[in-house]
Amino acid sequence: MESGPAIFAGAAFTLFGGALLLWTTVRTMHREPVAYGVAPRTAVAVTGVFGAVSLVLGVWCFGRL
C-alpha cells in the first residue's frame, strides 16, 4: 500500500535530478549561461548540488521499497 507513493516520489526526484544535471552539463559544454544574472561558476555549482540531491533522494525513495 505504501509502495505506490514511494515509487512516484522516487521517479519524480530521479527524473528531475537527472534532467537538471543533464541540462546543466549541456549548457556548460556549449558555454551558454545556466542562469541569467548569476556568476557562471555559482550557477553551475548550485544547480549541480540541487540535481545531485534530487537524484540521491530519488534513489533513497526507491531503496525504501
Q: Is the CB of residue 47 less than 8 Å from the CB of residue 20? A: yes
pLDDT at 1: 57
The alpha carbon of residue 61 and the mean position of all alpha carbons in its chain are separated, in whole angstroms, by 14
Q: What is the pLDDT of residues 12-34, one digit of tens each?
A: 999 999 999 999 999 999 999 99
Q: pTM for this structure? A: 0.86
| Choice between 35 and 64, residue whose per-residue pLDDT is larger | 35
Other beta carbons within 10 Å of 63: 9
3 vs 21: CA distance, rounded Å: 27
5 vs 58: CA distance, rounded Å: 12
**Which range, of 4-8, 9-13, 29-33, averages the lowest pLDDT?**
4-8
List Cβ neighbours of 64 (8 Å cut-off, separation of 6 or more).
Answer: 6
